[in-house]
Structure 1
Amino acid sequence: METEPVVDGEIRNEPLWESVPLAPDLIQIKPSYGAPVSEKTEIRVAYSNTTFYVAVVCYDTEPNKIVVSDSRRDADLGDDDSFLFIVDTYNDQQNGFLFGTNAQGMEYDAQINNEGKGSLNANRQQGGVIGGTNINWDATWSVKTQLGDYGWSAEFAIPLRSLRFAAGEAKTWGLNFQRNISKNTEIAYWTSLPLGFDLKRLALAGKLTGLNLKNPGNLKLIPYALVRGINDQSVSPSEQELDAEVGMDVKYSITPSLTLDLTYNTDFAQVEVDDQQVNLDRFNLFFPVKTGFFPRKCRSVFGR
């Protein structure tokens, strides 16, 4: 795509998107296995040198019944009218990146490892990671939605620097789409899946071929400055206390699979606190490390 679209959720009247071919129709997995999706769904995919785009129009004959139950980032989309897609950027049929939204533009993203099953050695209480689905991963991307009498539409813009992939000519990515239609308790996929499987089953995903990709590079600088002043009327102005601190976090992708993280004078005050949990059994609790400057692994806290 030579011209970048304006990401505003407007799909139907956008000449740029009308020139992009439609993806084949979705197939239900429930409630009527193998039947076409009950509501018309138009999906288009495009990319530029810097961004991967997905546009979807979710037509609905009863738009007043569209359900939005949560607007928190990474909240469960299973009960909402929602749209999700997964990309297997290395085409290894095991790992990928999952993105989704509902009719109100909520952002959902996750890293998928081993088709969502995770490692056999992964601890069952690893915080923020359910099986092989890491919802602690928050990439930089955007999505805009639009509601109307036709239903709703969504426009995703995923910067390529937020993903990991191998650059080159004629590359292939694994790809699958999912639409949830709440009023019918309906789930439909682009690539039909057997009963009992879901979008994370990358071995059965479709293929997006002919991608000509350049390494976008990924350098992120996060500086900060803190100033503290104490106005003590009992001392002279020359003895007033004034403190200042500066620091910076640097993240740079050396290769698609190797990232350099540097930090100077780290501001730990910006790190999220742990969710309070009560542990009454003999198993350890695991909390994700939520800093932006170290690998997001987990640390354990022993139970009592």
Structure 2
Amino acid sequence: MHKRTIGRVGFLFISLACTVSAQSPVEPAANSIGVMYQLDAVQVDTPPVMDGLVLEDSAWGTATPATGFVQSTPNEGESASEKTEVRVVFTADTVYFGVVCYDRDPSSIIVRDSRRDSSMNEADSFQLVLDTFSDQQNGFVFGTTPAGQEYDGQVINEGGSRGGSRRGGRGGFSRGTAGGFNVNWDGAWQVRTAISEIGWSAEFAIPLRTIRYPVRAEQVWGVNFQRNIRRRNETAYWSPVPRQYNLYRVSMAGQLMGMETPIGMASNLQITPYVIGEAVARDAEPTRGPVASGDFGADLKYSVTSGLTLDGTYNTDFAQVEVDDQQLNLDRFNLFFPEKRPFFLENAGVFSVNNAGAAGRDLGQTELFFSRRIGISDSGAQIPIRAGARLSGKVSDTVTVGVLNMQTEGLEGISPANNFTVARMRRDLPNRSSIGGLFVNRQATGPQSLSTDHNRTYAVDGRLGIGENGIVQGFVGRTQTPGRTGRDHALNLSATYNSEVWRVVSGYQENGEDFNPEVGFVRRTGFRKYDVGIYHTSRPQGFLKFQELRPHAS
């Protein structure tokens, strides 16, 4: 088989956005880009009443509000057109955020879809991001709309390619960890909202067991807040973010000070058992007794430390998992369906090694570990998972580890029983940089299995931040499959420069003909691919009321 070299030649496009902003008084004392903003959290004995009415609850009275929001769009650097206040209090087991979104015309507040994790870009909304380890790369996002929608997800590597987008808060279909934001992660938390004559307000209650944080009593977390005012196409941040980035840019977040967490609380245990059964009696055979059948299993979650979690499962039941979004394949490349099974979602980004830095539509998408290969056949049939365990999280402020072991049962004619092992380690470095390694192993088990029925993947990956706007990242990987001894390697290198005026993306991907990560996802093998994308952004003043001109080529 001959290797194919693919060159991409793009055309020039011009993206135009036309918006007329309403003229209204602006919020005073706007914050400035490049300054580290701090907000103090206050400990309270009595938690707030979760009804969305922040200003009527005395529990918020001792907290100093964060204010001075600054527009990213449409008028970058100017004060937000409406005032926003955010207060933070906490108890021994929960952190609360009280948000007041003032609006001089509450009747103009826009509300859209209120389903969980649906997009908030088409409605008035509020989001917050928590960088609990202050690693300036990862975080937890929580958001809501005036309708009380729940929106949450995990940020990985500042959102990857999404971190360079001007709009966060997209919902619905997710590319999983490859996209840098895992919207399929659903944490346990509450939000209540209320619309009144002053605008709208929201109260968030986030249990400490839902998030992960360092093992120490006194905490300093990265934090930022984003408010969208839909009728003006306005996005504003508490800690200002340049227009080329969004909320996922946690390296530009402010600091949440004063948080205290009980160290002993980390060791919480959660067990979720299930029992199912049925009894069937046949009216046509009254002399025959009912036939009974049933099954049982359990999931376990144990916080070894506040940053390290042990998950276990026995006879796993995925009956309650959300169905996949329908996709139509019009070409010869594999379709990617993101992981939605809860057991695999928490800390999914820990195990992620991929080519997420590619420019444009990535026909060479490569995931060296893809958890949907465990318990699901290539045809989509469910393969029973007998048992499994995963230990993942941070062992220190800079070292992340992940170890996964799963045992599946065999299905005659579809798949033998298999044991899956995944090991991952990553060390965070200054300025959004990191280095790590990955090992993946699939081994057939059972009395009829062969010792040669296995597949292994090895990889080393890295990420280097250059200044404030540059990033270089990539990986080198190799697979080991009995009977395939040819070009079984893959390598990726990409570089991105993203300023307010210019965005340049370039990448190189090479997959050998015999590169075969059976516990990963590969669109195609046997190719080399070069990517280049150049974008220029300008905001002309008074030119036909255009908000933004963005010619680009890729």
TM-score, normalising length from structure 2?
0.51
Structure 1 residue 255, shift from structure 2 partner: 2.9
The yes-or-no answer on 1:243 pairing with 2:293 is yes
Q: Which moved more, 1:254-263 or 1:11-20?
A: 254-263
**Aligned pairs for 1:179-258 within 5 A:** 179-215=227-263, 216-217=265-266, 218-236=268-286, 239-258=289-308
SS at match of 2:251: helix
| Equivalent of residue 26 in structure 1, options 35, 50, 69 | 69
> What RMSD, in angstroms, separates the aligned Cα atoms of the two structures?
2.3
Structure 1 residue 269, shift from structure 2 partner: 2.4
Asked if 1 retains the 8 angstrom alpha-carbon contact of 2:174 and 2:182, the reply is no
The yes-or-no answer on 1:299 pairing with 2:299 is no
**Aligned pairs for 1:121-140 within 5 A:** 127-129=175-177, 131-140=179-188
The change in CA–CA distance for 1:303 and 1:174 in structure 2 (over 3 A counts) is closer
Could you give the per-residue CA deviations for residues 228-271 of structure 1, whole angstroms, max 9, x where no partner exists? 12121233466221223222111222234432222223223233
Unaligned stretches of 5+ in structure 2? 1-43, 163-172, 349-369, 379-521, 525-554
The yes-or-no answer on 1:43 pairing with 2:86 is yes
SS at match of 2:372: strand
Query: Which amino acid in the other structure matches residue 67 of structure 1?
Result: I
| Equivalent of residue 93 in structure 1, options 121, 127, 136 | 136
The change in CA–CA distance for 1:157 and 1:126 in structure 2 (over 3 A counts) is closer
RCO comparison, higher one (Cα < 8 Å, 6+): 1
The yes-or-no answer on 1:58 pairing with 2:101 is yes
| Structure 1 stretches of at least 4 aligned residues deviating more than 4 Å after TM superposition | 295-298, 300-304
Asked if 2 retains the 8 angstrom alpha-carbon contact of 1:230 and 1:241, the reply is yes
Q: How many Å separate the matches in 2 of 1:276 and 1:31?
A: 35
Q: Which residue of 2 aligns with 1:264?
A: 314
Q: How many Å separate the matches in 2 of 1:203 and 1:261?
A: 30
Unaligned stretches of 5+ in structure 1? 120-124
Query: Which amino acid in the other structure matches residue 321 of structure 2?
Result: V
Asked if 1 retains the 8 angstrom alpha-carbon contact of 2:67 and 2:83, the reply is no
Query: Which amino acid in the other structure matches residue 73 of structure 2?
Result: K
Q: Which moved more, 1:134-143 or 1:253-262?
A: 253-262
Q: Which residue of 1 aligns with 2:324?
A: 274
Q: How many Å separate the matches in 1 of 2:291 and 2:134?
A: 58
Structure 1 residue 189, shift from structure 2 partner: 0.5
Asked if 1 retains the 8 angstrom alpha-carbon contact of 2:281 and 2:289, the reply is no
Computing the radius of gyration from Cα coordinates, the structure with the larger value is 2
Q: Which residue of 1 aligns with 2:209?
A: 161
Q: How many Å separate the matches in 1 of 2:178 and 2:122?
A: 18
The yes-or-no answer on 1:4 pairing with 2:47 is yes
Q: How many Å separate the matches in 1 of 2:183 and 2:300?
A: 22
The change in CA–CA distance for 1:30 and 1:299 in structure 2 (over 3 A counts) is same
Q: How many Å separate the matches in 2 of 1:105 and 1:66?
A: 13
Provide the identity percentage: 46
Asked if 1 retains the 8 angstrom alpha-carbon contact of 2:277 and 2:292, the reply is yes
SS at match of 2:343: coil
Q: How many Å separate the matches in 2 of 1:183 and 1:293?
A: 39
Q: Which residue of 2 aligns with 1:122?
A: none
SS at match of 1:16: helix
Query: Which amino acid in the other structure matches residue 54 of structure 1?
Result: F
SS at match of 1:255: coil
Structure 1 residue 32, shift from structure 2 partner: 2.0
Q: Which moved more, 1:157-166 or 1:21-30?
A: 21-30
The yes-or-no answer on 1:147 pairing with 2:195 is yes
Asked if 1 retains the 8 angstrom alpha-carbon contact of 2:156 and 2:177, the reply is no
Q: How many Å separate the matches in 2 of 1:261 and 1:238?
A: 44
SS at match of 2:299: strand
Asked if 2 retains the 8 angstrom alpha-carbon contact of 1:126 and 1:286, the reply is no
SS at match of 1:86: strand
TM-score, normalising length from structure 1?
0.90
Structure 1 residue 178, shift from structure 2 partner: 0.6
Q: How many Å separate the matches in 2 of 1:118 and 1:248?
A: 37
The yes-or-no answer on 1:69 pairing with 2:112 is yes
The change in CA–CA distance for 1:174 and 1:268 in structure 2 (over 3 A counts) is closer
The change in CA–CA distance for 1:13 and 1:177 in structure 2 (over 3 A counts) is same
Matched residue count: 299
